Amino acid sequence: MKTENSTDARRAWMGLLAQSNEAELARLWLAFGAKPAFDWLRVPEAGGVMVRGRMGGSGAAFNLGEMTVTRCALTLNDGTVGHAYVQGRSKPKAEIAAQIDALMQTEVAADLRAAVLAPLQAAKQATKEARAAKAAATKVEFFTMVRGED
């Protein structure tokens, strides 16, 4: 059985799911096919996380303000546990994310990665690159005027 359960891989997919566009995530999940049966360990719940910054960008921490986050946890019939902490207040988004987190620890991981995570990652990268490309176009190119005779 090929599973992807190393911490780094899990961190990556959970982070991707947390930041995903809900409509896009729901569309890809719906298209993925059979959904697992599961029991709730913690039903979806919206809450706040206090975001911290650093003084001067690099010094000691301070509390900047909160952001909304929705979390839940569930268990598949085989005992695999899925967690979700996703940005915003959408309970359906958290539910899908937790199911994907659980299934990514099972033998469907590769299919799920191809069907859902890879397109989400590509969309995220494309959005980021599109903004960076617009930013790059506003970069000032200084030039020095040559004045007078040589």
Partner 1 sequence: MYVAVKGGERAIDNAHAWLAEERRGDMAIAELSTGQIREQMSLAVNRVMAEGSLYDPDLAALAIKQSRGDLIEAIFLIRAYRTTLPRFGYSEAVETGAMACDRRISATFKDAPGGQVLGPTFDYTHRLLDFKLAADGEVPKAATAAPRMEPTPHITEFLRGEDLIEQEPVADVVPGDLTREPMRFPAGRALRLQSLTRGDEGFILGMAYSTQRGYGRNHAFVGELRIGKVPVEMEIPELGFAIEIGEVELTECETVNQFKGSKTVPPQFTRGYGLVFGQSERKSIAMALVDRALRWEELGEDNLGAAAQDEEFVLSHADNIQATGFLEHIKLPHYVDFQSELELVRKLRREAQELAEHLAAREAAE
> Does residue 143 interact with partner 1 by CB under 8 A?
no
> Does residue 59 interact with partner 1 by CB under 8 A?
yes
> Does residue 21 interact with partner 1 by CB under 8 A?
no
- Residue 124 burial (10 A CB sphere; 0-12, 13-18, 19+): middle
Helix (H, G, I), strand (E, B), or coil: what is residue 51?
strand
- Closest CB 70 distance from partner 1, rounded Å: 9
- Residue 55 burial (10 A CB sphere; 0-12, 13-18, 19+): exposed
In the stretch 112-131, what mask flags binding to partner 1 with x, by CB under 8 A? ----------------xxxx
CA distance linking residue 119 with residue 124, whole number of Å:
9
- Residue 88 burial (10 A CB sphere; 0-12, 13-18, 19+): middle
Indicate the residue among 135 and 146 with the shorter CB distance to partner 1.
135
> Does residue 93 interact with partner 1 by CB under 8 A?
no
> Does residue 89 interact with partner 1 by CB under 8 A?
yes
Choices 9-17, 28-36, 106-114, 115-123; region in contact with partner 1 by CB under 8 A: 9-17
Tokens 């930013």 found at: 135
> Does residue 51 interact with partner 1 by CB under 8 A?
yes
**Which of 1, 23, 37, 137 lies at the binding interface for partner 1 (CB under 8 A)?**
137
Helices 118-137 and 7-19 pack at an angle, to 10 degrees, of: 60
- Closest CB 21 distance from partner 1, rounded Å: 12
Indicate the residue among 30 and 125 with the shorter CB distance to partner 1.
125
